[in-house]
Amino acid sequence: MWKLSRDTFGSPDNLRLPWAFLIFGLVVLFVLGALFPKVVGPALELALFISPLWLPILLVGVAWHEWMIFRQSAFIAAEKYTVLEIKPPRSHSKTPLAMEAVLSGIHLSPGEGTWYARAIEGKVRPWWSLEIASIEGQLHFFIWTREKFRRSVESHIYAQYPGVQITEAPDYTRLISANPDEWNIWGCDYSHTKPDPYPIKTYIDYGLDKPMKEYEQTDPLTNMLEFMGSIGKGEQMWVQIIIRVHKGEKYQKKNTEGKTYTWKDEAKKLVQNIRVETVGKIKYKDLSTGEIREADGFPNPTKGESDTMAAIERNVSKLGFDVGIRSVYLARPNHFNVSLISGVVGLFKQLSSEGFNGFKPAHWMTAYNDYPWELFIKKRKNIMARRLVDAYKRRAYFFAPYKTSYMVMSTEELATMYHIPSAAVTTPTLQRVQSATSIAPTNIPI
């Protein structure tokens, strides 16, 4: 399913080196050399003179970085992957807590336990892609996984959703060429509006942590499904939530004394900052001098601040995943609806909160504002659109050639964004299992 090719390691259009900064630095150096030749000249001579000291270190660092990309790309390309389609049962009373149990079951990180496995063999821990696709309005739930984890994924889902139907499906993304003459494409990734430990509005906030009658349920997934199901012929809309076990790579620069710094440490820092801000000043009269002085009092948080600290602590108490979220809207040239772009941007608006966390669009097509001075805008958009679809097809987020800034989220948050909808979700284009199926008894005489 993965083809080891030139694009696997990064094409010239997607180089990992910051060429823009390099070119800018050379231009600045040239300008300074022209303006101050007596200063820049000796400095360059000194740098060249001591190059036997710094150049080998630079070359070794670059070579090691490229070696890791090569080995990881080779390992990823050698793995086999499968796409599993999940058809919801006709009716079930499970809350999103069931999907949280499923996600907890796949909170696995085998394969990179030793330095040899990581550095020499290029092994990386597995990641999964939770996907919802609307093909001309027909909604489908998918999970993309390594072939070796298929049985584990299926067993966890069947354990929590007995009436569900799971089948291996062809990869729907492979049917799209991303040719600009055939498809108009718009899409983006999403990032948090606040630091990761701040939670989004989860199913618990919607009251779905307890069994309720169907007409009383307010499922936050309904908004997205209704919107995705409203598209018509010649249109498609894809959403993928790519997850892997959180181990603190995002906060690597904050590692101190060899200790891994994770989002739990980040949460402690945020809570401490809130407590410090709630410390008020107390005025008192010095009896010896008669002067009015001020001193720090005790923390006195408001109810909102107390709720925020409690929400952060509850969020990081759950299992954490590194998360990348991406959405793509594709349509034939004569079917492309520009008004749907705003809907894609606000796809997860119902999960956002002013007091806590939310989502905002980032990367890809949001980089273009269609200003008159943006040169070669059409060509650049077409190149970016092809890359976007290619990144989606690869389910690439954490490694080259599409390594992207990601979020850290809890199982509770993920279960809110992706779960098997109950009968309370009445979207007509959502395909459900019409009749129950079961395995034949083992004691039937042959």
Higher-confidence position of 214 and 312: 312
- 54 Rama sector, left if φ>0, alpha if ψ -120 to 50, beta otherwise: alpha
Q: Which residue has the tokens 């390309």?
A: 77
Q: Which residue has the tokens 């020499």?
A: 120
pLDDT of 371 > 60? The answer is yes
The two tokens of residue 5 are 């090719």
- In whole angstroms, what is the distance from residue 104 CA to residue 117 CA? 25
Q: Residue 3: which pLDDT band, with cuts at 50, 70 and 90? A: very low
The two tokens of residue 259 are 């200790």
Q: Which residue has the tokens 């005790």?
A: 298
Single-letter amino acid, residue 94: K
Q: Please, which residues bridge with residue 243 across strands? A: 128, 323
**What does the pLDDT average to over 192-200?**
95
Q: Return the pLDDT at 123.
A: 92
Q: Can you give the residue ranges of every domain in the chain? A: 1-78, 80-255+306-417, 263-304
The pLDDT tens digits for 133-153 are 999 999 999 999 999 999 999
**Sign of the CA dihedral with 383 first, then 388, 391, and 397 last:** positive
Q: Are 396 and 402 contacting, i.e. CB atoms less than 8 angstroms apart?
A: yes
Q: Please, which residues bridge with residue 279 across strands? A: 299
Q: Residue 298: which pLDDT band, with cuts at 50, 70 and 90? A: low
Q: Are 250 and 406 contacting, i.e. CB atoms less than 8 angstroms apart?
A: yes
Q: Are 69 and 16 contacting, i.e. CB atoms less than 8 angstroms apart?
A: yes
Q: Single out the residue of 410, 398, 413, 404 nearest to residue 366, CA to CA.
A: 404
CA 305 from chain centre, in angstroms, equals 27
Beta strands in 88-201 (DSSP E): 128-135, 138-146, 165-169, 184-192
Higher-confidence position of 159 and 299: 159
Q: Return the pLDDT at 283.
A: 66
**What does the pLDDT average to over 384-411?**
93
Architecture in CATH for domain 80-255+306-417 = 3-Layer(aba) Sandwich (3.40)
**What does the pLDDT average to over 313-318?**
95
User: Which pTM was predicted?
Assistant: 0.85
pLDDT of 330 > 70? The answer is yes
Strand pairing of 165-169 and 128-135?
Answer: unpaired
The pLDDT tens digits for 165-186 are 999 999 999 988 888 889 999 9
**What does the pLDDT average to over 281-293?**
68
Q: Are 385 and 365 contacting, i.e. CB atoms less than 8 angstroms apart?
A: yes
**What DSSP assignment string belongs to 358-370?**
-EEEESGGGG---
The pLDDT tens digits for 97-128 are 999 999 999 999 888 888 898 888 999 999 99
3-state helix/strand/coil string of 361-401 = EECHHHHCCCCCCCCCHHHHHHHHHHHHHHHHHHCCCCCCC
- In whole angstroms, what is the distance from residue 434 CA to residue 303 CA? 48
- How much of the chain, in percent, has pLDDT values that exceed 70? 87
Q: Return the pLDDT at 77.
A: 92
pLDDT of 287 > 70? The answer is no
* pLDDT, averaged across the chain: 85
pLDDT of 19 > 80? The answer is no
Q: Residue 446: which pLDDT band, with cuts at 50, 70 and 90? A: low
pLDDT of 424 > 90? The answer is no
Helix 51-78 vs helix 37-49: crossing angle, to nearest 10: 70
Residue 2: other Cβ atoms inside 10 A: 15
Higher-confidence position of 445 and 371: 371
pLDDT of 199 > 80? The answer is yes
Measured CA angle at 278 (ends 274, 280), to 5 deg: 155
The two tokens of residue 170 are 């062809």
pLDDT of 296 > 90? The answer is no
Higher-confidence position of 41 and 120: 120
Q: Return the pLDDT at 328.
A: 96
